[in-house]
């Protein structure tokens, strides 16, 4: 997952609203959004190589999402998959804060990550770059890509503005946001981040919706958590030509324990 925008406690009726694009190599196998056979309370897409997920929720009242941190120096193979961070939380019982705190001593076992965790009460942000850290997320509109939370990369600022405008418009259907996340807009070179990959790669990775040979945006996911304990998750998938291949929509009743 490489781009997330979300609204946290901006609407009493919908405490968490989130839109996200997952970018990945096209040959990495993945299963579409569904309830997992081996963990029936979890609704998420699934990475079939490591068996984790980039974004999901559980009927026990938990949400988790992860992005990687872009660092060309981070070339080592790590003993643990970032997708296991989300899967572990979704299948767990403790609070988001306790999960994040317990993760910190082992954070170096993972490639660079940004992690969002919601447990029905708190929304937690955790990362292991530039050092292990976690904190509660303040209410408001936020953006997250491949740097720390709310780092003002052009596409992160743009995505945050999209969800802010959507909330202000009073809409309830996430389809417009899903379509907006197909934007191929590229900011001028002086506004692009310098993450050490070179300007040509920065341009390729600059849009919300990425398309390059063998790599690109694989799916867009809209997530809505209602104060009434009802959640909706909508995933739209894309092929190597960046054309939609299918949608899955799940209405998920939550058993929030906190």
DSSP string computed for 102-131? HHGGGGGGBSSEEEEEE-SS-EEEEE-SSS
Q: What is the pTM of this model?
A: 0.96
Residue 72: per-residue pLDDT: 77
63-104: per-residue pLDDT in tens?
999 999 998 767 677 889 999 999 999 999 999 999 999 999
Out of 2.40.160.40, 3.60.60.10, 3.30.300.90, 3.30.70.260, which CATH number does the structure's domain 3-253 have? Answer: 3.60.60.10
Confidence of residue 239 (pLDDT cuts 50, 70, 90): very high
Predicted confidence (pLDDT) at residue 257 exceeds the cutoff of 60? no
Average pLDDT over residues 150-177: 96
**Burial class of residue 243 in the structure, from the number of CB atoms within 10 Å of its CB (0-12 exposed, 13-18 middle, 19+ buried):** exposed
For residue 220, which of 233, 230, 211 has the smallest C-alpha distance?
A: 233
- The mean pLDDT of the chain is 96
For residue 137, which of 153, 122, 119 has the smallest C-alpha distance?
A: 122
Confidence of residue 1 (pLDDT cuts 50, 70, 90): low
What share of the chain in percent tops pLDDT 90? 94
Domain ranges of the chain: 3-253
Pairing of strands 123-127, 39-47: unpaired
Least confident of 50-54, 101-105, 170-174: 170-174
Residue 52: per-residue pLDDT: 97
Average pLDDT over residues 36-41: 98
């Amino acid at each position: 997952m490489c781009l997330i925008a979300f609204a946290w406690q901006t609407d009493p009726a919908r405490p968490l609203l989130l839109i996200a694009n997952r970018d990945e190599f096209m040959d990495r196998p993945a299963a579409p959004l569904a309830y997992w056979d081996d963990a029936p309370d979890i609704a998420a897409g699934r990475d079939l190589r490591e068996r984790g997920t980039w974004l999901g929720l559980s009927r026990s009242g938990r949400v988790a999402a992860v992005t990687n941190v872009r660092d060309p120096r981070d070339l080592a193979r790590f003993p643990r998959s970032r997708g296991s961070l989300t899967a572990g939380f979704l299948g767990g019982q403790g609070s988001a804060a306790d999960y994040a705190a317990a993760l910190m001593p082992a954070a170096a076992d993972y490639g660079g990550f940004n992690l969002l965790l919601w447990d029905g009460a708190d929304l937690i942000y955790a990362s292991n770059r530039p050092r292990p850290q976690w904190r509660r997320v303040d209410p408001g509109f936020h953006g997250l890509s491949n740097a720390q939370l709310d780092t003002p990369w052009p596409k992160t600022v743009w995505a945050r503005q999209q969800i802010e405008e959507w909330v202000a418009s009073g809409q309830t259907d996430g389809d417009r946001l899903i379509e907006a996340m197909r934007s191929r807009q590229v900011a001028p070179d002086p506004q692009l981040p310098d993450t050490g990959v070179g300007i040509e790669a920065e341009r390729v990775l600059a849009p919300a919706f990425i398309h390059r040979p063998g790599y690109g945006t694989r799916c867009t996911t809209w997530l809505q958590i209602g104060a009434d304990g009802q959640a909706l998750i909508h995933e739209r998938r894309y092929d190597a030509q960046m054309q939609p291949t299918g949608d899955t929509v799940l209405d998920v009743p939550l058993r929030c324990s906190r």
